[in-house]
Amino acid sequence: MKRIFVFQIMFVFLAAMATAQDRTALFDGAKIKARVIKLSADEFEGRGPGTEGGKKAAQFIADELKAAGVAPGNKKSYFQNVPMIGVKADPATRLAIFTASGSETAFNFGDDFVATTSAQKAKVDLDAELVFAGYGIDAPQYNWNDFSGPASDYKGKVLMILVNDPPATREEPDLFGNKTLTYFGRWTYKFEEAARRGAAGVILVHTTESAGYGWNVVRSSNGSWRYEIARTTKDKTSYLELKSWVTNDAGTRILQAASLDLNDLRTRAAKRGFKPVNTGLRVKLDLNSEVKRFESPNVVGSVEGSDAKLKKEYVVYTSHWDHLGIGEPDSRGDKIFNGAYDNASGVATVLEVAGVMARMKKAERPKRSTLFIFTTAEEQGLLGSEYYSQNPLVPLARTAGNINIDGVNFFGPTSDFSALGGERSGLGAIVQRAAAERRLDVKGDTKPEQGFFFRSDHFPFARVGVPSISLRHGETFVPALTGDAASFYRDYTAKYYHQASDEYHEWWNTAAMVQEAELALAIGIDLGNSPVMPRFSASDEFAAADKRRMGK
């Protein structure tokens, strides 16, 4: 009996391995690469939402879905249009800081600061008091509130705020997740909280250490068109007239005008009980912008599940098709931000996953149906995903989970990977099973201080209670990287992230791309066949949203 039991275990293991190998053979690495080349070509002009290049990219994706046999995901359409407002600030704009005596210090757009507005209008004339508000956080669970005092202390004023969470201390080593960035540290939260307080604007102080990337990324990401979901006349949502970043040097010089020291204030702000500082300075800004109203689509396809009942529930894949469009030319004179890695690679891979699933015989498909969403305006603040989460094409209560891919491994095969957010819900067990079948190690977030969980399209799904993961390739390459692959991998954040240099190269490794695609498919199939939908852990911050979504 013991020998029979051992044989059964071996048979199950080998069958699982065979399944993994067979699925790998279903993928066409050359087709994935060809799609990356197409999407990141200059003819797509960096895939900016609302541009001709962006329209071409969306149509290309829809055409690829149709050719692969993937059905439209929005009734008879492959598109879910997202209403947007685009704002492009005049690069000649100057930020002026005035003291009580009338002395002025001016700062240059691009070199010292970048700015946009969520007022959704062409002209903003700002003249407001400047308040240093520390980390700009109100977190009762940490007994932390940088907004003590009456609401009048912030209403109509500009708040200077530090990026990231307050640092952990020896006395409180787990304060704000220790090295793991919480949402309170994200720039999106800072803007949201300031708007809730009625502030007129926010100036965020950038440092490479706190943000995880250099000023060049802030400049390229915010120096051209910025987008928001268009508000209706009935929408009473708070907004900011000014949304700005400054370099650490510019922030230092601003406060010096009031005889204040940024480093001293940063130290004071890191302690509980910090009180905001009214600097006595005034911020003056005449922000003239080009404004355009347009619609930009999420591209959506679906593959029907095999079970008569469960096919009414859905597994959702996401991958954003947009990038930064056309911006300032780099040292080579290149001004097209092609976004080959970020995220033509992810789109090309999810398209292949969709095609593989569509080609399966219906009886072999997962029991649940699958929705493939190629989102718009991720680079602008996860806007396409945010819009979908508030206007879902499939009820959230019938959405089993979200698998997001933002940048696919093209360096070389790995023996490990990460699934950001897996530990938060029952999705984690599914990820672990897929890893075990493929003899892959599941690593946690290898850079928790950079807050990647909050930086891609799975996050809006999590906020509305849908268990979500974002796949990230591993760091243990087999064999070790050499040559161009090694240098690109090492220098990606410093030289390629949100730069015109993020381009396709012939050395890209298709086997690595197929490895990640097959893993994504395996997780989706397992989730699609799971007898119950995963839920967020009771202690997780998204558990309450999960309960609201499911009604229990």
CB half-sphere exposure, 54, CA atoms < 13 A: 23
pTM, rounded to two decimals: 0.91
C-alpha separations of 532 from 130, 310, 545 in Å: 52, 10, 18
Q: What is the pLDDT along the chain (552 residues), one digit of tens a residue?
A: 334 333 333 333 333 444 455 699 999 999 999 999 999 999 999 999 999 999 999 999 999 999 999 999 999 999 999 999 999 999 999 999 999 999 999 999 999 999 999 999 999 999 999 999 999 999 998 999 999 878 788 999 999 999 999 998 877 888 888 888 899 999 999 999 999 999 999 999 999 988 889 999 999 998 889 999 998 777 767 789 999 999 999 999 999 999 999 999 999 999 988 999 999 999 999 999 999 999 999 999 999 999 999 999 999 999 999 999 999 899 999 999 999 999 999 999 999 999 999 999 999 999 999 999 999 999 999 999 999 999 999 999 999 999 999 999 999 999 999 999 999 999 999 999 999 999 999 998 888 888 889 999 999 999 999 999 999 999 999 999 999 999 999 999 999 999 999 999 999 999 999 999 999 999 999 999 999 999 999 999 999 999 999 998
Cα angle: 19, vertex 23, 28; to 5 degrees: 165
Q: Does residue 350 contact residue 374 with C-beta atoms inside 8 Å?
A: yes
Q: What is the CA radius of gyration of the chain?
A: 24
Angle, in degrees to the nearest 10, between helices 52-67 and 29-39: 160
Q: Does residue 370 contact residue 303 with C-beta atoms inside 8 Å?
A: yes
In 40-166, which ranges are continuous DSSP H helix?
Answer: 52-67
Distance CA 504, CA 344 (A): 9
Pairing of strands 158-162, 123-132: parallel
- 518 closest CA partner among 304, 374, 350, 317: 350
Distance CA 544, CA 537 (A): 10
**DSSP H or E run through 470:** strand 468-473
Contacts of 216-222 spanning 24+ positions with Cβ under 8 A: 216/499, 217/493, 217/497, 217/498, 217/499, 218/114, 218/245, 219/110, 219/114, 219/328, 220/324, 220/327, 220/328, 220/337, 220/498, 220/499, 221/324, 221/379, 221/498, 222/114, 222/115, 222/116
Residues across the chain? 552
Report the first-to-last Cα separation within the chain, whole angstroms: 45
Token pair for 383:
């806007």
Amino acid letter, residue 529: N
Q: CB-based contacts of 233: which residues, under 8 Å, 6+ apart? A: none
- 344 closest CA partner among 24, 9, 56, 2: 56
